[in-house]
Amino acid sequence: MGEPMIHRAQWDSSLCACLGRNDGFCSSDLEICLLGSMAPCVLYGSNVERLGYAPGTFTNHCFPYTALYLLGNSFFGWNCLAPWFSYPIRSAIRRKFNLEGSCEALARSCGCCGSFMENEVQREQYESACDFATHVFCHACALCQEGREVRRRLPHLGFIAQPVLVMIPPGEQAMGRGV
């Protein structure tokens, strides 16, 4: 018999909750929805950047994603190449926040997939395959769900408050003559 399943947290919002939920992030969810449908490369680059990768991460992920997105749409008529590049970030988000994967969610709800996952290594392999399938078949929704998750859990690097030294020039001074 395999190891007992470790309890993992659920995603903050479902895959198809494009407009998010009515909370403090509602306007952010609308922005994510628009980016996911109009400029997925920007949303993908932002998601990777929020995960705290090295400087230049946004550019280093946004440009290759854009190239794969355009090639897939130009040659095959649909975005079939960019998911190969972007799905590992879904796996990284799932691992970083100890989130339940699709196979694990099925095992919890109906018990149909639990027997396939005998140990943690097998479970991670199945979940990575599910992450890939999610990006292939529901790419924009996957990017949006990932965007909502990282925005709720991680502050944007540009918004981290830094102490600022404010220098105020002295008031107007009159020069006096020496007597």
- Containing structural domain, residue 36: 26-159
The pLDDT of residue 1: 45
69 part of a folded domain: yes
* Maximum CA extent, the chain: 101
74 part of a folded domain: yes
8 part of a folded domain: no
9 part of a folded domain: no
Summarised one tens digit per residue, pLDDT across range 62-85 is: 999 999 999 999 999 999 999 999
153 part of a folded domain: yes
112 part of a folded domain: yes
105 part of a folded domain: yes
pTM flag (> 0.85): no
75 part of a folded domain: yes
Higher pLDDT, 96 or 163: 96
Q: For 126-148, give the secondary structure using H, E and C.
A: HHHHHHHHHHHHCHHHHHHHHHH
- Determine the length of the chain: 179
Write the CA distances from 1 to 15, 17, 100, integer angstroms. Answer: 32, 36, 21
Domain count along the chain: 1
